Chains A and B, each alone.
Chain A
Amino acid sequence: MNEKQLIQKSIDGDSEAFNQLVQPYLQVSYTTSYLILNDKQLTEDAIQESLYQTYISLKRFDEEKAQFKTWLNRIVINCSLKVKRKIKIFTEFQPSYMKVNEKSPEEIMVQNEKYEGLYQSIYKLSSKLKVVIILHYFQELSIQEIALTLEISEGTVKSRLHKARKKLEVILKNDNLLGGD
């Protein structure tokens, strides 16, 4: 069954078809939401809300305007930002050293601290800049795709990306996080 058929079946109330429809995008939805929220429980809530919103507003989805993937991505981002606004939590940064890695524990620790520090800086960016950074660097979307997802102009995407990069560059240099790059 192709995506179009799954969408139609979902509109008709087939929840199994909907599960199949969203399954390929779940992983990226989860991780994107997590990068925005930095909290696992909130991410679960945001994803559940996103899927619910997607399911109930599927009738309004217009495939001529955007792909389903882009539309779902937009809902996930909006729901995550909504959760963030609503909760206004101050998430404590909790470094995780539990990852499986071939490097020595000391190297892992140094690398993790470096990433955690950088993520902290990304997390502290404004929501607008942060989302653009996540879509560009994590989801590896093009400028055009980001513009479509966020429903903003390509020029705005470029400007936000530039601003975010400048801010991060300063932080990275100050904290010596750039290393050999």
Chain B
Amino acid sequence: MDKVIKECLQYKASEMPISSSISIQNIINNKKRKKLSLSWVYISSPIVALALIFIFIFIPSDKQVKENIAIGETSLMQADLVTNEPTLRNNKSAASNIELQQPIGVMKMQDELIINKSSYILSSTQASVQIGDMYGKIQTNDLQQSDNLIYANSLPLGTDIFYTSDSSIFIAITANQEWLYYQKQ
């Protein structure tokens, strides 16, 4: 058995070529290169992370503000404030930004507003609506309710309404600077 083990190990060892060019200077240089490239990773990581944070958080938000300013200056009808549920967070900041824009044209509601009733608190003249992480109030003299929907036929005097080009999303800013979010059903 000893002989077999010995032969086996010798056979296996013969597979390994010996590097003839190995020198400690090369090894040290390799180590330095590796350290240098690693240090670049360490140095650049926070910079890249900050850049990504800037790109993904600040730039879209800034873009949204610019869009909203443009909307205020030109045509509110062109605003594409929200397109789907996942962008609700941006929409919230958009709405807040709109709130700061002065003056904002007053528009008349052409259609009845219908809001999903699943998440709202209703009193006789006021509805608090929560959609996603957005929160708003509707103050009107004429709230109607059915099983699942709330209808706001008229809104307080001086309420500014913003809506997307396809009229599916509405944002209202009341005279008290409260903002409202409506999604047309």
Chain A contact-residue range equals 35 or more
B11 touches A112 (CB 8 A): yes
Query: Which A residues lie within 8 Å of B101 (CB)?
Result: none
User: Bound complex: CA of A99 vs CA of B24, how far in Å?
Assistant: 31
A31 touches B16 (CB 8 A): yes
B15 touches A138 (CB 8 A): no
User: Bound complex: CA of A60 vs CA of B79, how far in Å?
Assistant: 74
Q: A40-B17, A96-B15 are in contact. Are A26 and B5 (CB under 8 A)?
A: no
A138 touches B4 (CB 8 A): no
The segment out of A43-51, A84-92, A141-149, A151-159 that lies at the interface is A43-51
B4 touches A172 (CB 8 A): yes
User: Bound complex: CA of A133 vs CA of B8, how far in Å?
Assistant: 12
Query: Which B residues lie within 8 Å of A104 (CB)?
Result: none
B24 touches A55 (CB 8 A): yes
B1 touches A168 (CB 8 A): yes
B8 touches A115 (CB 8 A): yes
Query: Which B residues lie within 8 Å of A38 (CB)?
Result: 12
Chain B contact-residue range equals 20 to 34
**A99 touches which of B4, B9, B14, B18 (Cβ 8 Å):** B14
Task: Judge whether B7 is part of the interface by a CB distance below 8 angstroms.
Answer: yes
Task: Judge whether B2 is part of the interface by a CB distance below 8 angstroms.
Answer: yes
Of residues B4, B8, B17, which shows the largest number of chain A Cβ atoms within 10 Å of its Cβ?
B8
Query: Which B residues lie within 8 Å of A165 (CB)?
Result: 1
B1-46 CB contacts (< 8 Å) to partner A: 1-19, 22-25, 27-28, 30-31
Q: Which residue of B lies closest to A140 (CB)?
A: B6
B16 touches A34 (CB 8 A): yes
User: Can you list 9 residue pairs at the A/B interface with Cβ under 8 Å?
Assistant: A35-B9, A40-B15, A40-B16, A52-B27, A118-B5, A119-B8, A133-B9, A179-B4, A181-B1
Q: Residues of B with Cβ closer than 8 Å to A? A: 1-19, 22-25, 27-28, 30-31
Beyond A30-B18, A40-B17, A48-B22, 14 extra complex contacts between A and B, CB < 8 Å: A19-B23, A31-B16, A34-B13, A34-B16, A38-B12, A43-B16, A51-B24, A55-B28, A115-B8, A119-B11, A138-B13, A168-B1, A168-B5, A172-B1
